[in-house]
Amino acid sequence: MTLPGQSRSANIKDSWKKYLNDNVKSSSVYVTFDNAMKQPKVQGKAMDRWVTCKIGQYLSGVLATQIVELWCCTRRDSEGYKAAQLRDTVYGLLTDSEDVFKRIPLYRSHPTEAWTVIGQMLIKKDWIIDSGESEGDDNSKIRKLTIKTRFASGF
């Protein structure tokens, strides 16, 4: 038996990649899915702001749960102001002021064919935990957001 599309880890990760690249990535903010927390370089230039996405624990069920960590990181940020701004931008993308739930499209991804929406990942404000500011070994400022998402899994 093959997994339903909503339960496929590749679809979940690709959906987060698309959402973050479409909404966060810019000329001044980089998005990475590398588990190393090192400062990324783009065309040889070190980025001062970046978001690292780590896909965490998955709990199956009719209504599945996926834990996602978004690490908002900055360099050359002595007072952590850029880290606070980046956190606010990312947090705003995870909440909806007009609804209890933020809905992020869940896609069936494919390397050569068009992606299709197969569901939605739901996020509620009280499902987001903000770690507060910490400092990395390389003097990076870090704000980790741990997010619980829920979605119909097809099981």
At 47-81, the pLDDT tens digits run 999 999 999 999 988 899 999 999 999 999 989 99
**Structural domain boundaries enclosing 33:** 5-152
Looking from the CA of 47 toward its CB, the CA atoms found within 13 Å total 22
User: Which amino acid is it at 58?
Assistant: Y
Q: What average pLDDT values come out for the chain (155 residues) when binned by 10 residues?
A: 67 95 93 81 88 94 94 92 96 95 95 94 96 89 96 81
Taking the whole predicted model, whether its pTM rises above 0.95 is answered as: no
* C-alpha closest to that of 16 among 50, 59, 66: 66
Q: How many structural domains compose the chain?
A: 1
H/E element, 57: strand 49-59
Q: Are 54 and 66 a contacting pair, CB within 8 Å?
A: no
CATH number of the domain within which 68 lies: 3.30.2000.20
